[in-house]
Structure 1
């Protein structure tokens, strides 16, 4: 019985510690920014209930809470109602079919225009992608230790996101779904979307371009990354949309890695 009493006292002491450390900060935050927080939660996808709970915990002024809720939620509900009425006339199935047909036509446009010289070049370019990434990462580790840490962070995040998307979406490779594919490489049954080669190439290019001492190398690597993406379509292992999304994702991951501290500090200021 004594052990449960001791645990209970520990919980009460911990609760008292939290109240002293965070309750005052939370009250100041909601006094200063509460209206805008409730307003943004009302008009954006930010979870409104969480903000509402926090507003209650930190005893936000009820008038400001009501005003922020009305001004934020009312226009949102009007927009939802309006667009819901308008969207009923849109044939999403037809829109998706159109986009998919464009994807396939672009694939055939690139994949069908081939010759033996381009075959050799694109196979070499595609197969040396990870080798180039590895060599450059090691070179940066030897010369710019701080940059190499960001590269490892950026490539790690990139790989994780691509892995989750690939097996979450599970899109079949073009050569498994289409006829007449000029296939130079075979990736088995591994999902297609997005292109990991392209994503990793653009992530590395972005990080080197953002670093002052390697900006020129990064600019050159962007050209290389574009060619890598092209080679994946030419080789028959990816659709153009796989490559396009991979390029965008790679740039985003590279930017995040190079601005990690700024993003962290910004989030810390918001939730401090």
Structure 2
């Protein structure tokens, strides 16, 4: 385990130190939630077009539940595992290119979990009508995740675990959404 943590730290330092001050504001913006509000509005529109209002309400409930579960699980892991963020790790002092720093613990990343949750859920719900959307969504999720390394707040393993959790939760809640929509259509027939 010690070797894995060392490799994770080395990968982090390499990726983190690729950063450059002229790009700091861009990556701070990518990491911010508010900047993606127009994207969420587009998601809402696409879901409305595909599923209409009655089904959209159920989908939005599952999205809210899924993001809540994703976020809360990350919080439980952070305090339970208590792995210091790179910007708080005394063994990396002076080595981290710190642009921003978050709370004390970082395993696993809620940013990665939430963005991969949304990317997975949207990909499953819209795959029939928007075949290329998953490529864009997973690129977006990976970019948001990488921003966390750039800023100095997460190790790569934090992001990998967050992405995996988001992927599984997104699949689970998308499946629940489709099951409810299918059952409602069956009942109304």
Q: Distance in 2 between matches of 1:165 and 1:263?
A: 29
Please tell me whether the aligned partners of residues 103 and 240 of structure 1 are also in contact (alpha carbons under 8 angstroms): yes
Change (3 A) 1:137 1:193: farther
Q: Contact 1:205–1:222 at 8 Å: present in 2 too?
A: yes
> Which residue is equivalent to 1:236?
152
Correspondence 1:227 to 2:143: yes
In 2, the alpha carbon distance for the partners of 1:205 and 1:122 equals: 19
From 109, 117, 134, the equivalent of 1:203 is 117
- Give the alignment's Cα RMSD to 1 decimal: 2.5
Q: Which residue of the partner structure matches residue 123 of structure 1? A: 28
* Cα distance in 2 between the residues matched to 1:250 and 1:259: 14
**Structure 1 unmatched ranges of 5 or more:** 1-95, 265-272
1:173 and 2:85 equivalent? yes
CA distance in 2, matches of 1:156, 1:112: 33
Name which of 101, 104, 108 aligns with 1:194. Answer: 108
Q: Over residues 161-202 of structure 1, what are the superposed CA-to-partner deviations in whole Å (9 max), with x where a residue is unaligned?
A: 11211111121111111122111112142x100011111000
- Rounded Cα–Cα distance in structure 2 between residues aligned with 1:262 and 1:140: 16
Decide whether aligned partners of structure 1 residues 136 and 214 sit closer, same or farther in structure 2, where only a CA change above 3 A counts. Answer: farther
Alignment match, 2:97: 182
Q: Are the aligned partners of 1:172 and 1:192 in contact in 2 as well (CA < 8 Å)?
A: yes
Normalising by structure 2, what TM-score?
A: 0.78
Instruction: Determine if contact 1:207/1:257 at 8 Å carries over to the other structure.
Output: yes
* Aligned partner (choices 50, 54, 62) of residue 150 of structure 1: 62
- Counterpart in the other structure of 1:93: none
Per-residue CA distance 1:60-86 (angstroms, 9 max, x = gap)? xxxxxxxxxxxxxxxxxxxxxxxxxxx
TM-score when normalising by structure 1: 0.55
- 2:165 is matched with 249
Cα distance, 1:130 vs structure 2: 5.4
Distance, in Å, in 1 between the alignment partners of 2:2 and 2:148 is: 23
Partner of 1:132: 36
Query: SS of the residue aligned with 1:259?
Result: helix
